[in-house]
Amino acid sequence: MRTGATDARPRNSTAESRLAADGVNFADLAQETRVHSAVYTDERVFEAELQRIFYRTWVYVGHESEVPDAGDYRVRQIGRKPVIMIRAKDGAINVLFNRCRHRGSTVCQQDAGRVRQLKCWFHGWVYGLDGKLIGVPEDDGYGEDFDKSAYGLARPARVESYREFVFASLSDDGPALTENLGPACELIDLMVDASPTSKLLVDAGVQKTVFRGNWKLVGMDGYHAPYVHASVFEIFKKKADQGAGATHSADQRNIVTTIDLGHGHATIDHRVARQRDSTRYFNLLKTTPGGKEYINQMRETYGERSELLLTSAGDPHLGIFPNLQLIGNQIRVVVPVAADHTEVLAFPVRLGGVSDEINARRLRMHESFFGPSGVGTPDDTEVFERAQRGMQVDEAPWIDISRGKCREVRNPDGTIIGHMTDEVPQRGQFRAWRALMTDV
């Protein structure tokens, strides 16, 4: 999917030039085991991140199931730029910039909806679901050589999907999507194939939260839970068979691993631990209407692999750099607004081919922990904001991410594996950050 509308993507913002004038170099700011807090607090770094990361590498836009029918659309952000993900009449997914080619107004005003065409109400220009300009009122005001076909809505340079997860890149250069995702693909599969029909339904709405902190604070962190979520651990102790208590246990900390999957992607890998501790989870499933049928269907569809898929419960605990995470039952999208301002969108997924009761139970488990009033997310948010305030201190400005460097192991395929609590994901994230920020 490519159009001619990919020119004029400045990589050098003036803010960034000022940073360079101050003699600051991004490789110096983000080193292997320590990161300067300016990476989280400095607006000039943030502007450079938009240009070099968000307007360049693969950024998650949405899921194809969100727009099942022709004309269904969602408006999302790539950095500061609003884009429309819309289903065309031929069934194709189009990602279009939400900007009229005439005088720049947005052509889509709501987050979600269904339209027959996209109309700009500034001067009435009309576009088809494929972004082509199909109507210009009073077009006798334009000359003979006015070529409507050159005025379609602009598109990202590249749009590709992996298993209905739609990504866009604003650059012609760089690896294809699946090459970028690499070993993360099989973890995305864990979520999709938790459905016996391999069908995710991203149609359960979205919880939106906002915090006063940097987008990179929302990461894969296997170290924080007993401290940030101490209040929840107390509850787990009391109610081991319910909700998240059924899929987590304290001693998992020694068998869960962190894996740097390359390109900034990382997982906190619970696969082995959950297969070991599957009894409680299976008991929970079997007492849910449709649970036994679900287990049988999974075994029929996936054979031996079904054990892994069932116990993983559709939760790959995966971070895809820079803006996507698959955690618990949700697709989580990180939206950078400013160095100290981030929005987070949590889309709980429903599994195709399973009972309403199972999906409802998964929704209830999600709500219990996540969202602005869950027992988990608010404490994450609070701690992110504390970190953002603390990082204003310039004295001793380094963030330490060395944990586990002494014991991590590099696999033959290039992935790096560490203890659950190690900062393997943080080092991986900043390795990707450094590569993109310094390669201009």
| Residues found near other proteins in the complex (CB under 8 A) | 111, 203-211, 228, 230-232, 234-235, 239, 242, 343, 346, 348, 350, 356, 359-360, 363-364, 366-368, 371-373, 375, 377-379, 381-383
Our CB check for other proteins shows the closer of 378 and 397 to be: 378
CB of 369 to other proteins, least distance (A): 11
Our CB check for other proteins shows the closer of 349 and 437 to be: 349
In whole angstroms, what is the distance from residue 290 CA to residue 435 CA? Answer: 48
In whole angstroms, what is the distance from residue 168 CA to residue 174 CA? Answer: 12
Our CB check for other proteins shows the closer of 30 and 313 to be: 313
CB of 206 to other proteins, least distance (A): 7
CB of 392 to other proteins, least distance (A): 13
CB of 343 to other proteins, least distance (A): 5
Binning the chain into helix, strand and coil, the percentages to the nearest 5 are 35, 25, 40
Our CB check for other proteins shows the closer of 33 and 355 to be: 355
**Nearest 5 degrees, angle CA 141-CA 144-CA 146?**
75
DSSP-derived 3-state class of residue 333: strand
Our CB check for other proteins shows the closer of 178 and 373 to be: 373
**Nearest 5 degrees, angle CA 317-CA 46-CA 426?**
30
Our CB check for other proteins shows the closer of 185 and 235 to be: 235
CB of 357 to other proteins, least distance (A): 8
Which amino acid would we find at residue 88?
A
Q: Enter the DSSP assignment of 37.
A: T
Our CB check for other proteins shows the closer of 150 and 210 to be: 210
Which amino acid would we find at residue 4?
G
Contact yes or no for 369/204 (Cβ under 8 A): no
**Cis before 226 (ω within 30):** no
CB of 62 to other proteins, least distance (A): 16
Contact yes or no for 260/239 (Cβ under 8 A): no
Instruction: Give CA separation, 182 vs 254, 256, 332, in Å.
Output: 26, 21, 20
Helices of type H across 252-352? 271-276, 278-286, 291-302, 305-312
CB of 234 to other proteins, least distance (A): 6
Our CB check for other proteins shows the closer of 22 and 238 to be: 238
CB of 85 to other proteins, least distance (A): 18
Helices of type H across 353-404? 356-369, 377-390
In whole angstroms, what is the distance from residue 206 CA to residue 75 CA? Answer: 13
The structure tokens listed for 367 are 């709500």
CB of 353 to other proteins, least distance (A): 15
Our CB check for other proteins shows the closer of 369 and 430 to be: 369
Could you tell me whether strands 318-320 and 324-327 are parallel, antiparallel, or unpaired per DSSP bridges? antiparallel
Our CB check for other proteins shows the closer of 126 and 235 to be: 235
DSSP-derived 3-state class of residue 69: coil
CB of 112 to other proteins, least distance (A): 9
In whole angstroms, what is the distance from residue 28 CA to residue 74 CA? Answer: 39
Q: List CB contacts of 130: < 8 A, sequence separation 6 or more.
A: 88, 89, 90, 92, 94, 152
Gyration radius of the chain over CA positions: 23
